[in-house]
Structure 1
Amino acid sequence: MDRRNLFERLIEFLSPGPDSKTQLIESLADAEQRELIEPESRIMLEGVLRMADMSAGDVMVAAPRMDLLDIDAPYDELLEVVIHTAHSRFPVFEDRRDNVIGILMAKDLLKLQRAPELNLRTLLRPAVFVPESKGLNELLRDFRSNRNHLAIVIDEFGNTAGLLTIEDVLEEIVGEIEDEFDDKDHASGVFTLADGSQRVAGDAAIREVNTVFDAQLPEDDFDTIGGLVAHELGRVPRRGEAVEVGGLRFSVMLAKGGAVRWFKATRAEAVTPEPFSAPEA
């Protein structure tokens, strides 16, 4: 027996619930507007709904932008890569980049420092491989159940297509996870550092940088510094790389998810020019 009163049934008839994902998202926006849910809750719920249609291939860091370690590299070279990229986990390859043989925790390098006789292979953890088509919902469940934080994504031919971390998946729900460089208290994308240089966000407007430096960077073809620098270099630069554009030198402080988050910007004449050499892909 239907125990709902006549009024409740009438309301349901006049205002039926959403019958599609699009309508549900619109309902969430309406609920936020009527202050029934907080904006942050609406964003997370929308993220959960959209994630259901996404796969590993949609979110992964593409293979050319992966930071990997060579199993045969000397300790000092491994340490330099770990310091410059600041990741906690690294895929390790043998002979060629496409041949990933395991995952190395950055902290495990300390064991090699204290006991050089150790074989790096003994420190590797098994790599988890997933297809590009694997759904993010299923992948998140795997991450949680296996306590794994990184997966190597392979294409239909079994080749390495990229990598994906649990943070990448969670960011589809909660938005970008803030890091030590983020500053919510300032609307500006340019900040003065202790040495007098400027910290510039990758998505900072070119117009803002021109104002700060009294520069003449072109504003017609690109809106952001990140877009302009990537165009000048021909690709997205990596952490530690520097590019000179319009009399300014932009050194990458933090790159994440295939994009530059922060540059350190100085006037080109204020630093000793260094020859630029692109790292091997």
Structure 2
Amino acid sequence: MGGEGRDLPQSRGFLGRLLKSFSPGQNGGDGDDPPDSMMEAATSAAAPSILNLRRKTVDDVAVTKADIVAVPVTVGLPELVEVFREHGYSRVPVYRGDLDQPLGLVLFKDLAMKHGFAAKGAPPRFALRPLLRPLLYVPGSMPIGALLQQMQQKRIHMALVIDEYGGVDGLVTLEDLVEQVIGAIDDEHDESEEGSWVRERPGQWLVLARTPIGAVEAEIGVKLVSGVYEEEIDTLGGLLFMLAGHVPQRGEIITDDSGVQFEVIDADARRIKRVRVRLPDTPNPPAG
């Protein structure tokens, strides 16, 4: 698999030690206690632990089909580059017709090596098929430890979750699995801990969902949590989970009893990431 093999040594390094810990007799008990708060589990994921390798399945960590970013095999070079630029991913699945007919995945590294980073002169002839690399196809019931071992052995860092009818049900990456053991891995595209919010205009902020709810209340000057919920809710994301009764999806708008409006700007299947907070009577910005 060429360059893929350099990302993940076969038997040494951190991942080798991690998988050794997963071997029988190393872990002890059958599982951890559940999270104290469902709301915090939704916004920050369950506490990382080596036990998650046995306890969790692929379905627990996979991105849902609706949230998969993928491209058709007929995509043009400018459109493919724009997908990588917009989402910041290093690889995306490729399909024929629809996502239930996957062909493989394309790496940004392969695209850049083949076609360069900037077009000069006439656009080159572009064919995506020669760049495709294999994907793994796994059932949602597979323990994540078993999938981690497969990814190490086959040096393939992305898998599609297949349902009982052979259709695509979700997607999971190596990073998703490792995060279940060591916690969130922030990269260059993730928001830093500094600057938990940005004041976009009077009465409107863009806020990280993991921001403590007390800090949000102090910034916007509105009490959002009171009574019994003060001990239950720690973050802005936790408040939105409580208000919605589920993990809100990108584009969803939720209004608090106080009239404050929350628009989910960035989220995946398991947690909220960024939220636009708008005070009552703050007009929406003009289109365009």
TM superposition score normalised by structure 1: 0.64
Provide the C-alpha distance between the structure 2 equivalents of 1:23 and 1:244, rounded to a whole number of angstroms: 38
- Measure the CA separation in 1 of the matches of 2:286 and 2:78: 25
Relative to structure 1, is the Cα distance of residues 155 and 249 closer, same or farther in structure 2, using a 3 angstrom cutoff?
closer
1:274 pairs with 2:284 = no
* Contact preservation (8 Å) 1:206, 1:219: no
Letter in 1 for 2:87: T
Q: 1:138 to 1:242 in 2, by over 3 A?
A: closer
Partner in structure 2 of residue 174 of structure 1: 182
The alpha-carbon deviation at position 265 of structure 1 amounts to 5.3
CA drift at 1:255: 3.9
- Greater shift, 96-105 or 213-222, is seen at 213-222
Which residue does 2:85 correspond to in 1? 83
Amino acid at match of 2:126: L
Which has more helix, going by share of residues?
1
Q: Give the Å deviation of 1:133.
A: 2.3
Q: Within 5 Å, which residues of 2 pair with 1:166-205?
A: 166-180=174-188, 181=190, 183=192, 190-192=196-198, 198-205=205-212
* Mapping 1:30-69, distance limit 5 Å: 47-69=49-71
Aligned-partner residue type, residue 286 of structure 2: P
TM superposition shift of 1:99: 1.8
**TM-score, scaled relative to structure 2:** 0.62
SS in 2 for 1:97: coil
Structure 1 portions without partners, runs of 5+: 1-17, 27-42, 276-281
The range that moved more, 215-224 or 170-179, is 215-224
Change (3 A) 1:169 1:118: same
Map 1:135-214 onto structure 2 (within 5 A).
135-180=143-188, 181=190, 183=192, 190-192=196-198, 198-206=205-213, 208-214=215-221
Deviations 1:222-242 (A, max 9, x none): 95544666777x97444xx58
SS, match of residue 161 in structure 1: strand
Select the structure of larger CA radius of gyration: 1
Amino acid at match of 1:83: R
Instruction: From the superposition, tell whether residues 109 and 257 of structure 1 become closer, same or farther in structure 2 (CA, over 3 Å).
Output: farther
Matches of 2:89 and 2:226 in 1, distance apart? 34
Query: What is the rounded CA distance, in whole Å, between the counterparts of 1:23 and 1:94 in structure 2?
Result: 42
Distance (whole Å) between structure 1 residues aligned to residue 136 and residue 238 of structure 2:
33
Q: Which amino acid aligns with 2:168?
A: T
What is the DSSP-based 3-state SS (H/G/I as helix, E as strand, rest coil) of the residue aligned with 1:98? coil
Tell me, yes or no, if the aligned pair for 1:236 and 1:258 is still in contact at 8 Å: no
Q: Which amino acid aligns with 1:153?
A: V
The higher relative CO (CA closer than 8 Å, separation ≥ 6) is in 2
1:260 and 2:260 are equivalent in the alignment: no
Report the Cα distance in structure 1 between the residues aligned to 2:274 and 2:107, rounded to whole angstroms: 25
SS of structure 1 residue aligned to 2:178:
helix
User: Residue 80 of structure 1 aligns to a residue in which SS?
Assistant: helix
Mind listing any 5+ residue stretches in structure 2 that lack a counterpart?
A: 1-24, 34-46
Report the RMSD for the aligned CA atoms in angstroms.
Answer: 4.2
- SS of the aligned residue for 2:184 comes to coil
Q: Distance in 2 between matches of 1:210 and 1:165?
A: 36
What is the rounded CA distance, in whole Å, between the counterparts of 2:92 and 2:76 in structure 1?
16
Q: Counterpart of 2:135 in 1: which secondary structure? A: coil
Alignment of 1:88-107 (within 5 A): 88-107=90-109
Q: Distance in 2 between matches of 1:237 and 1:229?
A: 11
CA contact (8 A) 1:65 1:258 kept: no
